[in-house]
Structure 1
Amino acid sequence: MRAMMSYDWMETMRVTSQWMGASAQAMGSYPVNGLAPNPYFQMLSAWGDVTERSFSRMVVKPDWGIEAIVAEDGRDHIVTPEVDLEQDFGDLVRFRVQGRPEKKRKILLAAPMSGHYATLLRSTVQSLLPDAEVWITDWKNARDIPVSAGKFDVEDYTKYLVSFMQHLGPDTNLVAVCQPVPLALVATGWLAQNDPDSQPASLTLIGGPVDPDAAATDVTDFGRRVTMGQLERAVIQRVGFKYAGAGRMVYPGLLQLASFISMNAETHAKSFSEQIMRAAKGEAGDHDRHNKFYDEYLAVMDMTAEFYLSTVERIFKDREIAHNAFHIDGTAVDMTKITSVPTMIVEGENDDISAPGQCIAALDILTELPKDKTRAHLEPGAGHYGIFAGKSWRNNIRPLVLEFIDQAAQGGSVATPANDKKAPGRRKNLKTGTDGDGPMPV
């Protein structure tokens, strides 16, 4: 009951802050206040507007907001997200493009379950739609899932990926971003071991912690500093009475958001103070840059306690995937069974979440995969967000991923880009900093 009360206390504080913002905005907007030549009322209204919007967005799942794309015929084609396969903890969503011939490329985006909704990959989806049929894993907020639905941990996440790939078929190209990268690798290994005919046509792993110890970050340091008992007591709470998942043990999204903001508190404080000044001057817009970013950033979701804790323990502390020692339902998954799935690794030079070396460690596991079936790309100057949704993704990485998918479909070597005439050779190992054999970086 104590944990449930603490969850409801956080929600009470959020609702109170939202109400205070709405009240301040209304009080500062009375027409009679225009008779007073004091900017206090404009500032009060602006503060209330920004505050109410911010706290209300914390419990709202953002819309996909992809209305149309321009196809090869030069016309706008309506995009309709639709649930292709529904599950208790997450759905397989397809973005159907109306009035356009179906594309040969089929891409399944494995979205992170790390505190934000899958809509965080909105721009990634939108950039791929002109050239491919796109599906995405749309994970549900744990607070809205009844306790009767059971548990959901890293093994269940992996089994969901397996079921999604079996549903879509072997011509699907799996692209995993950030947190699901190691689990996508395990899912592919499970298929190679148990259902080879359902293996994906290609596997692209973007900025994920296959081996967290390959390069230290604040995330890995935190995982080392605390014990599992300390972590469970500090952050796990029971969903309160307001939601359908009442009683479920979760890592609350509001708590996750507080940790996000604390990492760059000064930057966020400056951004909000500047937005209040813009609102007071009448220069802020409902869909301006600040609101577009924070409407997504502040929208957080709860994770099941077992998923959060098993991620920390099994991936970061015990490094089960790095050691190729991951089990599903008590049965070992041998990722060396992946012998025919072309695999591409993408890392960002300035990634402070999954630093260079953590993701490319996958190639150390895939010992039976021919080197001409692998490719690695280190994007210069790119941070974590940039490698899947920023300028680096749009200008450099996306074209390489699509080219890699096409080369994989042709069945030949994928080790170098088609326009690179240099043969594969020796490269600098991103994990150890030494020279070693491997695919040429692109």
Structure 2
Amino acid sequence: MLYTAYEWQQRLTAPARTSSALTVRALEALPAPLAGLPGPRRLRAACRIVAEARPTHVRPDWGIDAVAVDGRPAEVVVGSALSTPFADVLHFAKPGVTGQPQVLVVGPISGHFTTLLRPTVRTLLADHDVYVVDWHNARDVPVSAGRFGLDEYIDHILQALRLLGRDTHVMAVCQPAPLVLAAVAVLAAADDPAQPRSVTLMAGPIDTRVNPNRVNLNAGRHSLSRFERLLITTVPARHAGAGRRVYPGVTQLTAFMSMNPRRHMDAHLRMYRAMVAGDEAAAATTRAFYDEYGAVMDVPAEFYLETVQRVFMEHHLPRGVFTWRGRRVDPAAITDTALLTVEGAQDDMCSPGQTEAAHGLCTGIPPERHRHHLQEGAGHYGVFAGKRWEAEIYPAFRAFVAEQERARTAAAAL
């Protein structure tokens, strides 16, 4: 029903979007004196917003062709180092640039493409050799590829870490924080040589019992069967993943926007005013954000439901009952991997304290290898994108990684 309702809504609103787009083209074709009048400018701005106001399932391009390294432009070549039906491990190679610490970025499967982390990746590339786990849209994955739940997610992290080897620093952004920590614990328990040098957990739900917010409280108010009944649907026949049960990306987008509708309305109002004023640079910045924000991907039903149950409802990891493939996972087994946690003081999706809780679980890590960064003035997205990420959070991460690299070099010299 969810897919049917969404697609009917798209069909019913298509005429309004089409006519708005045609109106924009007609107004742009007016002679300069007329096009510059207040009335046409206001109408053109309003129609453009209406014409572009819809979610898409089109994967945005990463759009990172070059970055500055030591003040010089360096070409970036994106290629796949590992591919499965559910994800690619992308390598953002910089030919001719060597000696940089290796970082694996793990993003969430939460209704958006991994390209939402473009600002994170772009910044990291200046000083690091970057790999990214790029998740696929579940509606494009054939049913024959099998299920995808928390075990399978952790399998992918293990594959990526074993591919890259010991000298890796892994960064988990948001939702995957408990799963990445679990993967590192699995490697530690097996004394696997692929244990990373460090793990950075950014605004992720390690223990949502700490300082609970609206998201956490809502998860506890309803039964898992209610979530499944109301939010899970089946991919229609016209898609490659026909028959796969999913949590639709457009549903998650609606949930995200409903958390703070005033913020999104204000952003669109500012964009409208910028277009009317002729400030295309300001309007383009907001438009680019919502183009990315509105590009949605479906989430495998197993992954969504298991996340709700095991992370948000029953708190398996902090309670010490989390399992992978039937085996108990114990973060206290981690001894050779340094830990950095990052939180935003104004984060209304993952409250302060929920990520920091990882330190209390990782008792095997020596105290001098624990770090925590609480960023004042940062909300959820501000932890990994924007001015505070660039100016304050990233320098802290870079210094943390550099510290672990110095420790590795010193240990090798002994």
Q: What is the TM-score with the length of structure 2 in the denominator?
A: 0.90
Cross-structure match for 1:374: 370
Partner AA of 2:290 in structure 1: Y
Other-structure match for 1:119 = 115
Match 1:162 to one of 158, 164, 167: 158
Matched, 1:81 2:86: no
Instruction: Determine the C-alpha separation between the residues in 1 that align with 2:107 and 2:344.
Output: 18
Aligned match for 2:388, one of 388, 392, 395? 392
Q: CA deviation at 1:218?
A: 1.4
Kept in 1: contact 2:139–2:242 (CA 8 A): yes
Cα distance in structure 2, aligned partners of 1:281 and 1:374:
49
**Cα separation, 1, equivalents of 2:23 and 2:198:** 54
Cα separation, 2, equivalents of 1:368 and 1:137: 27
Match of 1:68 in 2: 66
Q: Mean alpha-carbon deviation: is it higher for 5-14 or for 193-202?
A: 5-14
Change (3 A) 1:31 1:376: closer
- Report the 3-state secondary structure (helix = DSSP H, G, I; strand = E; otherwise coil) of the residue aligned with 1:308: helix
Within the candidate set 207, 214, 218, 2:210 is matched to: 214
Deviations for 1:217-257, whole angstroms, at most 9, x for unmatched residues?
Answer: 11101111111111111111212244222222111111111
| 1:307 counterpart residue number | 303
Contact 1:172–1:201 under 8 Å retained in 2: yes
Return the letter of the residue paired with 2:356: I
The answer to whether 1:51 aligns with 2:50 is yes
Distance 1:275 1:371, change over 3 A: closer
Preserved CA contact (<8 Å) 1:251 1:302: yes
**Percent of aligned pairs with the same residue?**
37
Instruction: Please tell me whether the aligned partners of residues 84 and 93 of structure 1 are also in contact (alpha carbons under 8 angstroms).
Output: yes
- Is 1:91 the counterpart of 2:88? The answer is yes
8 A Cα contact 1:4 1:247, kept in partner:
no
The question of whether the paired residues in 2 share the 8 Å contact of 1:325 and 1:333 is answered with yes
Q: Tell me the SS of whatever aligns to 2:78.
A: strand
Q: TM-score w.r.t. structure 1 length?
A: 0.85
1:150 aligns to what? Answer: 146
Which residue is equivalent to 1:197? 193
8 Å Cα contact 1:21/1:51 also seen in 2: yes
Contact 1:189 1:334 in 2 (8 A): yes
1:436 is matched with: none
1:139 match: 135
SS at match of 1:352: coil
Contact 1:7 1:240 in 2 (8 A): no
Structure 1 residue 52, shift from structure 2 partner? 2.3
2:121 alignment partner, SS class: helix
* Structure 2 counterparts to residues 215-364 of structure 1, below 5 A: 215-279=211-275, 282-284=278-280, 288-364=284-360
Secondary structure at 2:350's aligned position in 1?
coil
Q: Deviations over 1:385-433 (max 9, x none)?
A: 2222222222222222222222223338xxxxxxxxxxxxxxxxxxxxx
Distance 1:401 1:277 in 2: 37
Gaps of 5+ in 2: 409-414
Partners of 1:90 and 1:13 lie apart in 2 by: 34
Which structure 1 residue ranges, 5 or more long, are not aligned? Answer: 413-442
- How far does residue 194 in structure 1 lie from its aligned partner after superposition? 2.5
- 1:58 is displaced (CA, Å) by 2.4
Q: Deviations over 1:172-212 (max 9, x none)?
A: 11111111111110000111122521100111111111000
Question: What is the count of residue pairs matched by the alignment?
Answer: 408
Partners of 1:314 and 1:13 in 2: CA distance: 39
**Aligned-residue CA RMSD (Å):** 2.6
Higher helix share: 2
Aligned pair in 2 of structure 1 residues 16, 233: CA closer, same or farther (>3 Å)? farther
Asked if structure 2 preserves the Cα contact closer than 8 Å seen for 1:349 and 1:382, the reply is yes
CA distance in 2, matches of 1:75, 1:410: 25
AA in 2 matched with 1:373: R
CA–CA distance in structure 2, aligned partners of residues 390 and 352 of structure 1: 17
Distance 1:4 1:176, change over 3 A: closer
What letter matches 2:186 in structure 1? W
CA contact (8 A) 1:29 1:42 kept: no
How far apart are residue 121 of structure 1 and its match?
Answer: 1.3
Cα drift, residue 35 of structure 1: 8.2
Q: Cα gap change, 1:27/1:19 in structure 2, threshold over 3 Å: closer, same or farther?
A: same
- How many angstroms apart in 2 are the aligned matches of 1:190 and 1:251? 28
Task: Tell me which residue corresponds to 2:412.
Answer: none
Paired AA for residue 93 in structure 1: L
Whole-Å separation in 1 of the counterparts to 2:13 and 2:299: 19
| DSSP 3-state at the match of 1:5 | helix
1:7–1:239 contact (8 Å) kept in structure 2: no
Query: Does the CA-based 8 Å contact 1:83-1:92 persist in structure 2?
Result: yes
Q: Which residue of 2 aligns with 1:427?
A: none
Comparing 10-19 and 337-346, the one that deviates more: 10-19
CA drift at 1:278: 4.3
Question: Quick one: distance in 2 between partners of 1:128 and 1:188?
Answer: 21
The separation in 2 between residues aligned to 1:247 and 1:9, in whole angstroms, is 19
